[in-house]
Amino acid sequence: MNLLKMPIESRQDLGLIRREIAKMTKEAGYSPLVQVQICTAVAEVVRNVLLYAGKGGITARMRRDKFVVEVWDKGKGIPLETLAELENGTYKSKTGLGKGINGTKNLMDRVRILTSPSGTQLFMEKALNA
C-alpha cells in the first residue's frame, strides 16, 4: 500500500494503524528497529486523538525517501501552557503510560504541531537512511 488514509475512531483503529504502518515501513526498507520507532511514534499521537478528541484521522505515505504522517482531529486542541511545556521538554505526563508527544519527537526526524481550540494537526516524518 502506498497511501494509508483512515479514520481514527476506536481502539481497533489504533491496532489497524499499527499493523499498516508496520507493513508500509517494512516494504519501504526501514530497519526493524526504525519500523518499531515509527509505529510507536504514530501510536502515541493516535492514542491522544482517541483520548482527548474522541476521533480524527490519519494519512501516511512514503514521499520520496521519507515516511510522512499526518494525524488530525477536531477536538479542543492542546492547551497553550501544555504546548509550551512540550516545546521545552518540561511536560510531565499525567498518565505516565507512554512517552507521549516528547517520545514521538525523539523517535521521528521532524514533528510539527498545529493546534487551536478547533482542532489539532500533527505532521511527522522519518527519512529512509542507508
Ligand X SMILES: Nc1ncnc2c1ncn2[C@@H]1O[C@H](COP(=O)(O)OP(=O)(O)OP(=O)(O)O)[C@@H](O)[C@H]1O
- Tell me: does residue 57 bind ligand X (CB under 6 A): no
| Cell numbers for 117 | 481550540
The amino acid at 80? L
Q: Report d(CA 89, CA 94) in Å as an integer.
A: 14
Q: Which is nearer to Mg ion, 35 or 100 (CB)?
A: 100
Of the residues 53, 62, 68, 128, which one makes contact with ligand X according to CB under 6 A: 53
53 binds, options Mg ion, ligand X, none, Cβ within 5 to 8 A by partner type: ligand X
- Tell me: does residue 48 bind ligand X (CB under 6 A): yes
At closest approach, how far in Å is the CB of 13 from ligand X? 14
| Cell numbers for 58 | 490519519
Q: What is the DSSP letter of 77?
A: -
The neighbour count for residue 122, using CB atoms within 10 Å, is 27
Q: What is the contact surface with ligand X in residues (CB under 6 A)? A: 44, 48-49, 52-53, 73, 75-78, 82, 91, 93-102, 120
